[in-house]
Structure 1
């Protein structure tokens, strides 16, 4: 557009900002931000809110807050965007503080604001706070609860292991239930290994979406975790009969303004030899600090050695190894995963951040994780529900994301 001599207007810039948010490409986000400042575009509620969303989805919630603070005028969507940003970065307390600031400014929340707030509570383990907001939505803010609010609360209770309360809440609902609600509950049943309730949730899910392979895979993973391999085989046979295929797992990393993509066991990258040498070096160092691969996250009836080999080549680990060899020391490594990060990769990222002295920022299908000096921003609370993965090529993988982490803006 610029090469053609056409000068972008605000609408064009908002569209480009939105594209950067979808990509999660920090380098491009910085370039766009610099261009907006050079051309002196007004940071109004439309462009400013889009930029808050962009920086948050690129993994830099601090830059999102800087944009928010620079905005002279804010509407309810601007406030909601910043609350949502804190939510999917696991900073629930900051989301609550910002909500109080919003009320103090005289701005009243809408249903999106409260959905974002409930989501933030869910991902920070703020159970009582979330339940209090949910129960007072109409009385305090004249906002009627819809299925997204119920979904957030089911997820809130489910992550905390309060499955019976979550199921009771679902049964008490007078509004129509959707696949997001049942999916959140099924995910919680998987996390806490409740096969009985999982089967009930899966039955409802398959009535709503019989052609979604993610539902079948999630139930299959639950059976596998319980050692019910015959049931696993039945589910996968059913998938074959209905011609349902998985969405393969991929991880992306941006280096020198170029995106590099990895799948499990990938050997196609030009620097694969160096990547696997780095992984071997990391493995030796991790063993010295007590890391043991958690083979519970490989849900196949195979021997332990093969399971360890599968874990060793998860796409996240390949991307991180590439980041370590392709970027300067002490710089942050940012990766994007199209599925959810398994618990073993979560542990791997924590330890690598410590031994390599790097900040590792992971955007998966559910939220952001910031790893620094051996700890994660989620406090290990959310890794309970990040999903058990099935990453062997040619087998079903978990491709369903039931709670939209970018709730108001996708």
Structure 2
């Protein structure tokens, strides 16, 4: 594959609102396998490092983000054994202690590593020099770092206040109460919750903003799986009792629902039944809500032994919807791609925070759709896509893995769509385009 440009194979050209007739004899569902969850992998790596003893993680995602997280743990002195072939990692935790009291830590573009490790090291006892990729240097950190200062951490910035690179000097938990604004990232709260699980005294965390609460639920559920419980006196208040401990364990990581969503969307667009192996409605991952949006557009969903089965609309028509995507905003790009071929406009609401992710995703979506001749309207928090017939173009991906994967879906149904810098997918799904082509080769259409 050309590493600079990828031309998407146009499998089933279709016009907006057009019907894909169902075959007389329904084809067997296409079975797809995706890597382990990035969100769960990186949380499990940190929880294992903070536990007491050896944890063995199975189904680990190996991508740029997770490899950076693993390298960070090693740079801090943790004993980590990696087997990529078996998708297994073992981590020897020291009961909340950081092996090295001074270290340089490079998080790359991994937001989870950037936020989770900053909170953990900012509440430890030691001095840590933190740096990141140019992309991560542009992403917000100030709300988390302000909270760490309130806990007694000293922070010195090498360049811009509130951004990488910086040096943390932690002194433990010097306060038992703090407030954090999660309006631009739920990772700030997840980071503080995981770190607060190590405190000797009770810790109370107050929040402003409500972004990404499905990821907070994931964090709390995984903390409990490793032995630490969070209480909720109110929706905006989180309390952790002191002297809890994380316990080492064997842990199975779920398939990445975010990755699965591209293939479910593919099934909806191409009119083929499709199953992603191991995906369940009981998933810890908030992006499972995206499947309900495909259901609202006319698809049907059945949970079966091997995973959730998506059946495309019986009449072959995808319907425009009005969707609150605050719980699954990583799939806003995916829904925008599907919406291009619906029979009426689709409005995506409450996604203003995606302006501050790997790219300004609101601007990226509108810019690239308009380049194709697709009309869309953008407000501070909402986006409306008007169906149309995409013209051939090269999609800029802005070093954003989700732009590359999401906009590739348009090319399956519109000729001449090319993806610039397809290998930016290495961040979370390094062989996405290989899996896409292998899945296409098994379609009976």
> What is the TM-score of this pair, normalised by structure 1?
0.28
Name the structure where strand makes up a greater proportion of residues: 2
Name the structure where helix makes up a greater proportion of residues: 1
> What is the TM-score of this pair, normalised by structure 2?
0.27
